[in-house]
Each structure stands twice: as C-alpha cells, then as structure tokens.
Copies of this chain bind each other. A is one copy, B any other.
C-alpha cells in the first residue's frame, strides 16, 4: 500500500460529519488523535448502553467500531459522501465495566473501491482490551 496521507484533519472530519449526519453527535464520540493510517476515537457510554450485570452492550461497541471505521476512511478520502459499510465482524474479548470506551482504528487497506479498517476497543475505565472489529467500506467512484 502506498504511503497514506490525510485528506482532512480531526477538526475538519468532525465538522463534516456533524453537517451531513447531525444525529451522529448523539453517539457522543470524539476524535482523540488522527494521523496517517490511524485514528483514536472516544465514546461516551450512557444509561442506554448498559447490559444486565453492569457491562456495556455489544451493539454499543459495534457502533463505536462502525463510527471509527467511518471517520478513519473519511479522513483519508476527503469530504465526499461514502457508501455504507459493506460488512463488519466483531469479537467481544472481555466484559467492559460501565464507562467510556476508546477505539484505536487502523487502516489496513485503502484501495480505489474498498477500504478495510481494524479497530481495537479498550475500556477507558479498566484499560483492558474489550473488543476487536474489522469493517469494510465500499468507496464511491471518485
């Protein structure tokens, strides 16, 4: 893969997403760092995200993985409207205690038509790795 270059910085990505997809800000995500090929996203976890036993729900972790993949792809391809995710898989590794989550995303592939991102999700409370996910995006023709 050729060297990756950012097309937008964290502030530009955040502003673009807030414009085209205002509701996404309800998810409570914040880009913590963004560099070529890598992006860290923090997600605020609330009462709606709790599962019995005080753990964070799987769909909440999935939503964080999904938004992280979206943000990292967008940061590299620039402000054009993307196709949705085409597929994703997630492994739940340990039960997160109630509290915020942090996803460390990496771009594994950025082709003309497909992008693949890998996410490791940590609990911001315990620091443990709680999930790993991979997502594929279909990119619209430029």
Contacts and interface: CB of A to CB of B under 8 A. Distances in A.
A51 to B, nearest CB: 7
A116 interface: yes
Contact of A94 (B109, B136, B138): B109
Interface in A41-99: 47-48, 50-53, 55, 58-59, 62-63, 66, 81, 84-95
B113 A91 contact: no
Interface in A22-41: 23, 26
A60 B124 CA distance: 24
Number of copies: 4
Contacts of A85: 58, 92
Contact of A89 (B21, B51, B66, B134): B134
Report the interface size class on chain A.
Answer: 35 or more
A26 B48 contact: yes
Contacts of A59: 59, 62-63, 66
23 contacts: A1-B94, A20-B52, A21-B51, A21-B52, A26-B48, A52-B81, A58-B88, A59-B59, A62-B62, A84-B95, A86-B114, A87-B87, A87-B91, A87-B92, A89-B89, A89-B90, A91-B109, A91-B116, A91-B134, A108-B129, A109-B129, A113-B138, A136-B136
The 8 closest A-B pairs by CB, nearest first: A89-B89, A59-B63, A93-B109, A87-B91, A62-B62, A21-B52, A20-B52, A58-B85
